[in-house]
């Protein structure tokens, strides 16, 4: 049997997605975790709080052994390649690597070189962040929100967002009726990336009648032009304020994968307000990553 990996949503079957979403919700509702007798290593070539810690906590709750590689103290600083680092960890009986990397598709390229290791993509460049997409869907499902027929607005830096990349694939698969992608022209893709997706050049159009509004972080670290976009100008046009939600569905929910830039893509009052699911997403991140490990090691 070939190694099982979590590389992106497109590589998963419908039954895999359903299994992980159901399991995440069951675990969040108090379900008994499986015991997973394995060792995983967190290997993050980019900063992270939510993803790294939640994979560590998820593994601990399943009884897994966890190794956190501190990159700046690792032999990567002496020129060791990612392939050699992965092979070295495998030689010490590490079974899986949770990898974040600034290069798009770096995780799937590594998968071709390290047979026997199970890889989890924890975010690769501007390409994919599948565990974030799964936890976002699980967050809505756990609240009883019907995804089929949902009107979802995703706002901000769509072009550079791996969250949007994996998210749009998953929302489309789960039957979301409208996926409205909105942002400044330079931060939008050239064309809608899925049949249910549409592109919008102003926030009000995207939010009108929306059941869920997901704000995205401005990816300063992936911008080409220094100092752009201007924080105040961006907030004026694209930052989500309470007044913007007047045109949304009455019980509209607000999501953000984090980390948030308060006063840039979202007003603090909205981030901390009653509609906000931001910390629910973080909590569901641990249960979803438990479900991912159970799926990765099943059988
Ligand atoms: N959402 C997300 O990936 O957050 P971190 O960068 O903190 O892991």
pLDDT of residue 251: 96
Which segments of the chain have a pLDDT < 50?
A: 1
The tokens 């989890």 sit on which residue?
A: 120
pLDDT of residue 258: 96
Q: Is 50 in the pocket of ligand 1 (CB under 6 A)?
A: yes
Q: Is 258 in the pocket of ligand 1 (CB under 6 A)?
A: yes
Q: How far is the CA of 51 from the centre of ligand 1 (A)?
A: 5
Report the C-alpha gap between 40 and 293 in whole angstroms.
Answer: 10
Q: Is 54 in the pocket of ligand 1 (CB under 6 A)?
A: no
Q: How far is the CA of 233 from the centre of ligand 1 (A)?
A: 25
pLDDT of residue 230: 85
pLDDT of residue 222: 63
Q: Is 51 in the pocket of ligand 1 (CB under 6 A)?
A: yes
Q: Report whether 66 contacts 10 (CB < 8 A).
A: no
Report the C-alpha gap between 290 and 213 in whole angstroms.
Answer: 26
Report the C-alpha gap between 9 and 70 in whole angstroms.
Answer: 28
């Amino acid at each position: 049997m070939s190694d099982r990996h979590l590389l992106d949503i497109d590589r998963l079957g419908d039954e895999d997605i359903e299994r992980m979403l159901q399991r995440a919700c069951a675990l969040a509702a108090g379900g008994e975790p499986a015991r997973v007798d394995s060792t995983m290593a967190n290997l993050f070539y980019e900063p992270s709080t939510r993803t790294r810690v939640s994979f560590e906590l998820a593994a601990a709750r399943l009884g897994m052994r966890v190794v956190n590689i501190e990159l700046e103290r690792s032999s990567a600083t002496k020129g060791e390649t990612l392939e050699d680092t992965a092979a070295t960890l495998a030689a010490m009986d590490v079974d899986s690597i949770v990898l974040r990397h600034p290069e798009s598709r770096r995780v799937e390229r590594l998968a071709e070189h390290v047979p026997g290791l199970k890889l989890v993509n924890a975010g690769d460049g501007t390409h994919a962040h599948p565990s974030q997409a799964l936890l976002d869907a699980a967050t809505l499902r756990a609240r009883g929100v019907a995804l089929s027929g949902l009107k979802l607005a995703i706002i901000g830096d769509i072009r550079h967002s791996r969250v949007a990349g994996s998210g749009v694939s998953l929302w489309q698969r789960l039957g979301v009726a409208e996926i409205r992608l909105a942002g400044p022209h330079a931060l939008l893709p050239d064309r809608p990336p899925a049949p249910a997706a549409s592109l919008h050049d102003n926030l009000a159009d995207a939010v009108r009648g929306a059941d869920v509004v997901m704000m995205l972080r401005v990816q300063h670290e992936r911008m080409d032009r220094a100092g752009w976009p201007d924080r105040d100008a961006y907030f004026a046009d694209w930052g989500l304020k309470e007044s913007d939600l007047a045109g949304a569905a009455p019980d509209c929910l607000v999501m953000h994968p984090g980390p948030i830039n308060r006063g840039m893509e979202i007003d603090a009052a909205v981030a901390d307000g009653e509609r906000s699911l931001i910390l629910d997403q973080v909590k569901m991140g641990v249960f979803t990553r438990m479900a991912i490990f159970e799926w990765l090691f099943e059988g």
